[in-house]
Structure 1
Amino acid sequence: MRKDIHPDYDYVVFRDVSCGETFRIRSTCTSTETIVWQDGKTYPLINLDISSASHPVYTGQQQQNKSEGRVAQFKQRYGKA
């Protein structure tokens, strides 16, 4: 590989602002905000609106909404028996 053409690839902390979950992974993203991680080191901080910790598909809330919709649809179709 050629030198000095690739972005820096280092640890970055991502924070899901909807649930407060944080996780550290390697990324090319950069930020001016920083945070002190559990290991005592300072890393760039990227705030996310949604992640797998709060997304309905990954938390199981989407399946619950589907089943609630099916029950309501059944009651509407067949009435209160």
Structure 2
Amino acid sequence: MKEKIHPKYEACKVSCACGNTFESGSVQKELKVDVCSACHPFYTGQQRTAAARGRIEQFNKRYGK
């Protein structure tokens, strides 16, 4: 690797739209993200219920009253 051409990699503060903050590594000092592991449906377990809810509504639309 060539010397003195790479940006400095250091600790950064990551802020999510939900209010969660945590430390990570980046070339930037601060990052702002829309979704993190605390609010993403895949990590919170809401993905499975949301998918089932859609299938139930689809079933009721076709065969329900």
Per the TM superposition, whether the score is higher than 0.5 is yes
Give matches, 1:1-81, under 5 Å. Answer: 1-17=1-17, 19-29=18-28, 44-80=29-65
SS of structure 1 residue aligned to 2:30: strand
RMSD value, Cα = 1.7
Give the C-alpha shift of residue 53 in structure 1. Answer: 2.1
Gaps of 5+ in 1: 30-43
Percent identical pairs in the alignment equals 43
Separation in 2, partners of 1:54, 1:65: 14
Give the C-alpha shift of residue 70 in structure 1. Answer: 1.3
Separation in 2, partners of 1:8, 1:24: 16
Give the C-alpha shift of residue 47 in structure 1. Answer: 1.7
Give the AA of the match of 2:39.
S
Q: How many residues align?
A: 65
Gaps of 5+ in 2: none
Separation in 1, partners of 2:60, 2:32: 42
Higher fraction of helix = 2
Give the C-alpha shift of residue 76 in structure 1. Answer: 2.4
Deviations 1:42-65 (A, max 9, x none): xx3322122222222332222211
Which TM-score applies when normalising by structure 1?
0.64
